[in-house]
Structure 1
Amino acid sequence: MTEMNGGTDVHVTVAHSADLDTATLTAARALLYDVFDDMTEDDWEHALGGMHALVHENGQLIGHASVVQRRLLHGGRALRCGYVEGVGVRADRRGRGHGAALMDALERVVRGGYDLGALGASDTAAAFYAARGWRLWRGRAWALTPAGIRRTEDEDGFLYVLPSAAVPLDLDADLTCDWRDGDVW
């Protein structure tokens, strides 16, 4: 998608990690480290291996988000989840609809390829996701770790899901994520 807005060329692209060149991945990583004070190498790794939405303005990367496949356990089922990672827009370009454009692209991927979408939202981003139809998970959060299933109570109240009509969800029940290094959610 390309838009001309007051002489500004804004372009949103969607591509798999494998199809992005080193320069683009390096720019995306640098952008996220600039956007998030607490960004870690594990966080960057979590954003790889799936589909990336990228916003370029006049040829410069100003926004990034990705969706990667994970498995979530809910109601006795292992659900194929499109987990959203690394959503960030350069500070001087916020409030112009770029975050919405990123999410439009990723939500299309989630709806077309997964049983549900999920993400961990900061306090400042929660209203943005809720307005887009993401629902707060009210149940308890868990992780399937190498040592067994463990509670991740710090995530309670921060997890949001994008339900599909095909898979019924009980937003008050337990939700368990698969294991990964760093923050499991």
Structure 2
Amino acid sequence: MTDTHPRLTHTAHLDAHARAAAKALLNEVFEGDMSEEDWDHALGGMHALVWEGDELIGHASVVQRQMIHAGRPLRCGYVEGVGVRADRRGRGHGAAMMTTLERVVRDAYDLGALSASDGAADFYAARGWQLWRGASYTLAPSGLRRTEEEDGSIYVLPGAAPLDLTGDLACDWRSGDVW
């Protein structure tokens, strides 16, 4: 039987079985296009997990990042590693995981952000995530660097901080995909 309520836990409290199951699930969901850097990006925050018995069928996480917008730093809950096993999709598991993580974002961060695949953009938009229409950047070791290839795929969940969705948004630097 599937537990329809995601379990929320911090990376520090994932045992070896849960970590291995989450990594394997995401590798399957992303059809082998889940790099070690991508997996690393999903760690260090809160995980929403959906189990069917002792088998993991859904995973999503939110990690803390810093964004810069309108000249001020913002504490961001960045959503990573969202996936539901193919044969369990369409049953509300993704929505349940996002509801859990959105509560974390609203309670702990200035805003939420994520980079949506083309196939998931409508899902996030229907949940109230808003497309960032301005220019995107990263604060790289060499300085501010434009990330034009990410424009049109960044979504934000506004919080207490005022946002101009047509303004510039910069994320902190990290290896691999910065957004």
Q: TM-score, normalised by structure 1?
A: 0.94
Which letter maps to 2:81?
Answer: G
Which letter maps to 2:161?
Answer: V
State whether residues 11 and 56 of structure 1, in contact with CA within 8 Å, keep that contact through their aligned partners in structure 2: no
Aligned residue pairs total 178
From 129, 135, 160, the equivalent of 1:134 is 129
State whether residues 27 and 34 of structure 2, in contact with CA within 8 Å, keep that contact through their aligned partners in structure 1: yes
Distance change >3 Å, CA 8–CA 52, structure 1 → 2: closer
From 49, 55, 76, the equivalent of 1:54 is 49
Structure-2 separation of matches of 1:102 and 1:36: 17
From 19, 29, 43, the equivalent of 1:35 is 29
**Gapped regions of structure 2 (runs ≥ 5):** none
State whether residues 2 and 50 of structure 2, in contact with CA within 8 Å, keep that contact through their aligned partners in structure 1: no
State whether residues 4 and 96 of structure 2, in contact with CA within 8 Å, keep that contact through their aligned partners in structure 1: no
Q: 1:78 is paired with a residue of what secondary structure?
A: strand
Alignment of 1:75-90 (within 5 A): 75-90=70-85
State whether residues 70 and 81 of structure 1, in contact with CA within 8 Å, keep that contact through their aligned partners in structure 2: yes
State whether residues 10 and 58 of structure 1, in contact with CA within 8 Å, keep that contact through their aligned partners in structure 2: no
**Gapped regions of structure 1 (runs ≥ 5):** 1-6
State whether residues 77 and 105 of structure 2, in contact with CA within 8 Å, keep that contact through their aligned partners in structure 1: yes
Shift of 1:12: 1.5
From 167, 175, 178, the equivalent of 1:181 is 175
State whether residues 142 and 176 of structure 1, in contact with CA within 8 Å, keep that contact through their aligned partners in structure 2: yes
Say whether residues 1:74 and 2:30 are aligned partners.
no
Structure-2 separation of matches of 1:23 and 1:43: 19
Shift of 1:59: 3.0
What is the aligned partner in structure 2 of residue 22 from structure 1?
16
Which letter maps to 2:80?
Answer: E
State whether residues 11 and 44 of structure 2, in contact with CA within 8 Å, keep that contact through their aligned partners in structure 1: yes
From 137, 160, 163, the equivalent of 2:158 is 163
State whether residues 11 and 57 of structure 1, in contact with CA within 8 Å, keep that contact through their aligned partners in structure 2: no
- Give structure 1 regions of 4+ aligned residues with deviation exceeding 4 angstroms: none
Q: Deviations over 1:79-128 (max 9, x none)?
A: 00000000000000000000001101100100000000000001110000
From 9, 13, 16, the equivalent of 2:7 is 13
Shift of 1:60: 1.5
Structure-1 separation of matches of 2:2 and 2:153: 35
Aligned sequence identity (%): 70
Q: How big is the alpha-carbon RMSD for the aligned residues of Structure 1 and Structure 2?
A: 1.0
Structure-1 separation of matches of 2:3 and 2:146: 46
Shift of 1:10: 3.5
